[in-house]
A = this chain, B = another copy of it.
Amino acid sequence: MNQYPDLNTSPRILLGPGPSMVHPRVLRAMAHPLVGHLDPQFVQLMTEVQELLRYVFETENKITFPVSGTGSAGMDAAVCNFVEPGMPVLACVNGYFGGRLCEMASRYGADLTRLDRAWGTVFEPKEIDDALKSKPAKLVMIVMAETSTGALQPLEEIAKIVHNHGALLLVDCVTSLGGMPVKIDETGIDIAYSGTQKCLGVPPGLAPLTVNGRAVEALHVRKTPVPSWYFDITAVEHYWGPERTYHHTAPISMNYALREGLRMVQEEGLEARFKRHHENAELFWNGLKDLGLEPVVEIAYRLPSLTTIKVPEGVDAAQVCSRLLNEYNIEIAGGLGAFKGKIWRVGLMGYSSSRENVVLLLAALDRILNH
């Protein structure tokens, strides 16, 4: 059998759609020796993680905790708890991850209406209103920050419309949480999930989830049990609630990392953090203009955390990614699905969102494209 060398991966400059770079403080927290998942010290840490998650989600929701899986596990948990067989669900799809929400809801038996819109654009409130008038739904699913397109979906008006129709609003906050305001309570988002490896600057492996009272009521009147035992919020909430009843063994080290990452969010302050993300994104957008490169999304709806760029004609998108990785140690990504080969995706998220990273990437792109 093979012998394997010491772990020796390169310390990459991660400017793709995630994972983003992880601050040394968070890496150090990962290396901290373990305590048990029911140890009083871990129980205290769980409380702190929950308080800090409420801070970054901008919510008072009691049920706020990290699902023990990656961002996609958070999506699956959100969908399987709030969809029942035959339930009318409206899915708003303007990118890859909206499509994934449909895939998940269909598997759990939703009576799905799919509202499609061109990738890179965002939904108008009226479209949602019309869709709900023509076919009522109990749940509306939408992506706030589409990682496949770089578009930021405004949600204030949509939340009001969804509630006027008596439905719940489920929002994907994977690429927004920690990098821009998500304002769960002020906006009236009923169910939201995210991932740790984007704007929170923590390794992938946990999925922050928050659920308000309206959504909990819906959970408690389900006619069928939640299909997945692992993701069942009504069971997990007793572990993450005051009673701390054993459900499954929490990923201890990942929670150490999440606590440290969230502590750094708190130290920086939400406003300063959002400002940093925005300023670095603007610096990058201005640099793109100088390079003659064009973003996919118009500026009003452009994500500060993830910029999508049209690949100029005659340029091999994948080759540019390879050269950035091999010659400059920088990771960016190409497009998914409909955008494959047509766009690049550049993430400036969490610890990766820095002036030096922006300037370096622009310089490297310039050398690859123009020299």
Contact = CB atoms under 8 A, between A and B. Distances in A.
Given A12-B35, A68-B70, A68-B73, A19 B249 contact: yes
Contacts of A253: 22, 30, 203-205, 253-254, 257
A104 to B, nearest CB: 5
A51 B229 contact: no
A52 B2 CA distance: 9
Nearest to A203: B253
A29 interface: yes
Given A12-B39, A39-B12, A249 B2 contact: no
Contact of A10 (B1, B11, B35, B73): B35
Interface in A28-52: 28-42, 45, 48, 51-52
A197 interface: yes
Interface stretch (A163-171, A258-266, A304-312, A362-370): A258-266
Contacts of A103: 229
A288 interface: no
A254 B125 CA distance: 41
Instruction: Please report whether the interface of chain A is mostly helix, strand, loop or mixed according to DSSP.
Output: loop
A256 interface: yes
Most central of A35, A36, A38, A72 by chain B CB within 10 Å = A36
A51 B1 contact: yes
Nearest to A230: B76
B70 A331 contact: no
A257 to B, nearest CB: 7
Interface residues of A, number: 82
A317 B214 CA distance: 41
A31 B28 contact: yes
A70 B11 CA distance: 27
Interface string A42-78: 1001001001100100000000000011111101100
The 8 A-B residue pairs with the shortest CB-CB distance, nearest first, are: A205-B251, A72-B248, A31-B31, A76-B230, A203-B253, A30-B30, A11-B33, A69-B69
29 contacts: A4-B48, A4-B259, A7-B45, A9-B32, A19-B34, A19-B37, A22-B33, A22-B34, A27-B32, A27-B33, A30-B31, A68-B73, A68-B205, A71-B248, A72-B229, A75-B230, A76-B228, A76-B231, A106-B225, A107-B227, A107-B228, A107-B229, A197-B252, A203-B251, A203-B252, A203-B254, A205-B205, A205-B254, A227-B228
Given A7-B29, A14-B35, A107-B227, 12 more contacts: A7-B259, A9-B39, A9-B41, A12-B34, A16-B36, A30-B31, A68-B73, A100-B229, A107-B225, A107-B229, A253-B253, A253-B254
